[in-house]
Amino acid sequence: MHGMMMTTPLLITSLIQFAAKFHNDTEVVTCRVDGTLHRSTYGQIYERSQRLANALIELGVKPGDRVATVAWNSDRHLELYYAVSGIGAICHTVNLRLADAEMVYILNHAEDRLVFFDTDMAETVARIQPHTPAVESFISLSDAAGIPAGSPAGALDYEGLIAGVPDQYDWPVFDENAAASMCYTSGTTGNPKGVLYSHRATVLHAMASCFASTLDLRTHDIVLPVVPMFHVNAWGIPYSSPIAGVPIVMPGPKLDGKSLFELMDQEHVTMGLGVPTVWMGLLDHMDKMGRAPKGLARVIVGGAAASESIINRFELKHGVTVHHAWGMTEMSPVGVVNTLKPKFLDLPRDQQMPIKVKQGRAIYGVDMCIVDDDGDELPHDGITSGRLLVKGPWIISEYYKADESALTSDGWFDTGDIATLDADGYMLITDRAKDIIKSGGEWISSVGLENAAVGHPAIKQAAVIGVPHPKWLERPLLVCVSEGDSRPSLSEVREFLAEKVPKLWLPDAIEWVSSLPLGATGKVLKAGLRARFADYSLNK
C-alpha cells in the first residue's frame, strides 16, 4: 500500500523559491572581482535567475546540456547555479586554478556549450577557446563595458544577456533524479573524473547540511564560504543557506588573510568554511590584529586535516569554535562533522582534544564502515584502521561517461581513505590509501605525523612522504616550511614528536623547503613531493 502523501519532486528551484518567498530581503553580499562590494537579496537573485533562465532558453540551451562556469564565489555565480539547473541543464563548475591543458580536457569531456567567466579569467578562457570547439559562446560576468580586453573573440556580457528578457519564468517540473550540476575530481591519479549531482541528491544534502549536528545553520548566522563554488559547490552552502534563510557573504577572488579578515569584520560574518591553508592565512592576520573579526563565532575546517594547533589558535587565542569536517567531491561533499557529544563537554581540554581532531561523526544519510583488504568489516574500536566505505543518497554511483559502476559489489563507495571509527561513531582519517607509509609490517599515518609536527613552534607547514629503506621498505621523510628563521635539527624534532606519536613513526629525515606544492584545491600535492624526493637516500 502506498502512503497518501504528495510526491513533489525534490528540485533545486524549490530552494531559491523558498528563500525568495520567505527570506526575500535576506542579503547576498559579494566582493566583486574589481574589489567593489555588491549587495543583493534572495528576492533579487531569484528574479535575476528567472531572467537568466529565459536568456539561456533564447541561446538554445536544452535540458541535459552542460553550461560551464569559470568563476569565483559571487551573486551572479549563484544565479547561474539556479537558472542553469532550473531549466533542466547542468551547471558545470570548473576549477579556475587548473592548468590550461586540464581545463581544456574537462570542457571537452563535459562537452560544455557555454562558458561563463569572471573578468580576471578572460585571458585564460581566451587561450583555451581554440581548443574547445564545442563551446558556442563565452560570456563575461560583467556588463558590456566590463568585458575585458583579451577576452575570447565574440564574448557576450552577462548583464546584457539578462536585460530586456522577462523576469518571470515558468520553471519546468521534472524527474528529481535528473542531473543538476557537475564537478570534476582533482585527478591526482590519471585524468580528472566527472561527478554528476542530481537534483534529489543536492536537495537532500542541503537539508542535511542544516542539521544542528551538521552545520547548524540558523537565520541569525551570516555565512562566508571561503571554499570556492567550483570546489564541490562550495560544500553545498549555495543550496543550504537559502533554505535556512542565512545571508551569504561571497569573498570573490581575494582569499588572503587580510582581505578575509576585513570582509568578515565589516559584514559581521558569524561562520566561515574553508580548507586549513586559508585559515592559517586568516589566523596570521588575527594574531597581528590581536582579535577575531567582529561576530565570528565558528569556522568549519575541511578538505584536509585540521591540526591541533589550528584548533587551539582559533579557540584558545581568539574564542572562535572550530568544527572539523570531512567529505569529498564524490559525496556532494559532506560526510562527517565533528560536534562533541554531551558527555564530552565537561572534559578537561587535554582529554577533549583527541576527540576534536577527529574528522567527526556521520550525518544522517551517510552510512559508513571500515574494511580490511579482503573487504571484511573491521571493529569500531578507535584503534583498528581500514579502508573507509560509504553509502547514501548524495554519494556517487558512477562517474560521468565511465560506463561502469563506481561501487563495490555490495554497493559501497570506497573513498580511498584509511580511517578508524570509535565506539561513539567518531571517524579519524589516518591517511589516503596511496599516502600511507608501510614500514615493515606496520602502517605509519602521514596525516598523524604532519599534525603532530605542525605543533612545533618552528614548523609552519609539514608534509610526510615515504622514502625507500633497505630494511623497512619505507620510512617517513618530514618535509617542512619553517616558521621564522630557526630550523631545529632532526633529533630536536624527533624529541618533540616522541611525546606525541608512536616511536616507530618518528621520521628518519627532515628537509626544509620554502613552500609546499599545492594542488588546485589548496591541498598539498604529495605526488609532487614524491617526485621531488624520488631518489632520496636516507644514508646521506
Contact status: 333 vs ligand ADP (CB under 6 A): yes
Binding mask 223-262 for ligand ADP (x = CB under 6 A): --------xx------------------------------
205 part of the interface to ligand ADP, by CB under 6 A:
no
User: Which among 16-24, 53-61, 147-155, 300-308 is the span making contact with ligand ADP, rule CB under 6 A?
Assistant: 300-308
CA 241, 244, 246, 249: dihedral to nearest 10 degrees?
-10
In angstroms, the CA 464 to CA 449 distance is 7
What distance in Å separates the CA atoms of residue 310 and residue 301, rounded to the nearest whole number? 9
Point out which span in 39-47, 64-72, 367-375, 414-422 binds ligand ADP (CB under 6 A).
414-422
**Closest distance of CB 501 from ligand ADP, Å:** 17
| Least distance in angstroms from the C-beta of 125 to ligand ADP | 23
Question: In sequence order, what are the beta bridge partners of 370?
Answer: 388
- 304 is a site residue for ligand ADP (CB under 6 A): yes
Instruction: Select from 120-128, 284-292, 298-306, 471-479 the region that touches ligand ADP (CB under 6 A).
Output: 298-306
CA atoms within 13 A on the CB side of 130: 2
Give the contact letters, 345-384, x = binds to ligand ADP (CB under 6 A), - = no: --------------x-------------------------
Residue with Cβ nearer ligand ADP (264 or 419): 419
What are the start-end ranges of the E strands in 141-240? 156-157, 179-184, 194-198, 223-225
Judged by CB under 6 A, does residue 82 bind ligand ADP?
Answer: no
Q: Which helix (H) or strand (E) holds 81?
A: helix 75-86
Segment near ligand ADP (CB under 6 A); pick from 310-318, 325-333, 373-381, 392-400: 325-333
Closer Cβ to ligand ADP, 13 or 415, answer by number: 415
Q: Which of 96, 67, 63 is nearest to 81 (CA)?
A: 67
As a whole number of angstroms, the longest Cα–Cα distance in the chain is: 74
* Nearest residue to 75 via CA among 206, 217, 238, 220: 238
Among 310, 429, 459, 465, binds ligand ADP (CB under 6 A): 429
Which one of 305, 310, 368, 418 is in contact with ligand ADP (CB under 6 A)?
305
Each residue 430-449 as x (binds ligand ADP by CB under 6 A) or -, in order, gives: --x-----------------
3-state secondary structure of 518: strand
The reply to whether 327 sits near ligand ADP by the rule CB under 6 A is yes
Q: Binding to ligand ADP by residue 329, rule CB under 6 A?
A: yes
CB of 59 to ligand ADP, least distance (A): 31
> Quick one: which segment of 10-18, 47-55, 323-331, 397-405 binds ligand ADP (CB under 6 A)?
323-331
Q: Determine the residue type at 136.
A: E
Residue with cell 545571508: 247
Per the CB < 8 A criterion, the answer to whether 107 and 132 are in contact is yes
Q: Min. distance of Cβ 99 from ligand ADP in angstroms?
A: 17
- Residues that bind ligand ADP (rule: CB under 6 A) add up to a total of 22
Please tell me what DSSP assigns to residue 398: B
Q: Are strands 413-421 and 66-70 parallel, antiparallel or unpaired?
A: unpaired
Helices 75-86 + 237-244 axis angle, to 10: 90
Chain positions 446 to 505 lying near ligand ADP, rule: CB under 6 A, are none
Encoded amino acid at 381, one letter: D
Minimal distance, residue 41 CB to ligand ADP, in Å: 28
Catalytic residue set: 185, 330, 438, 443
Residue 130 cell numbers, joined: 581554440
521 near ligand ADP, judged by CB under 6 A: yes
**Residue placing its CB nearer to ligand ADP in the complex, 50 or 332:** 332
Rounded least distance, CB 112 to ligand ADP, Å: 21
| 99: β partners | none
DSSP letters spanning 524-539:
B-HHHHHHHTTT--TT
User: Which amino acid is residue 266, in one-letter code?
Assistant: Q
Q: Nearest to residue 99, comparing CAs of 20, 187, 24, 16?
A: 187
Given the complex with ligand ADP, which of 299 and 328 has the nearer CB atom?
A: 328
By CB under 6 A, tell whether 415 contacts ligand ADP: yes
- What separation in angstroms does the CA of 164 have from each of 146, 152, 159, 483? 18, 24, 10, 56
Residue selected from 324, 380, 456, 475 as contacting ligand ADP according to rule CB under 6 A: 324
Q: Can you list the alpha helix ranges (DSSP code H) found in 62-198?
A: 75-86, 100-110, 122-128, 158-162
Q: Which of 53, 80, 224, 328 binds ligand ADP (CB under 6 A)?
A: 328
Q: Which residues bind ligand ADP (CB under 6 A)?
A: 185-186, 231-232, 302-305, 324-329, 333, 359, 415-417, 429, 432, 521
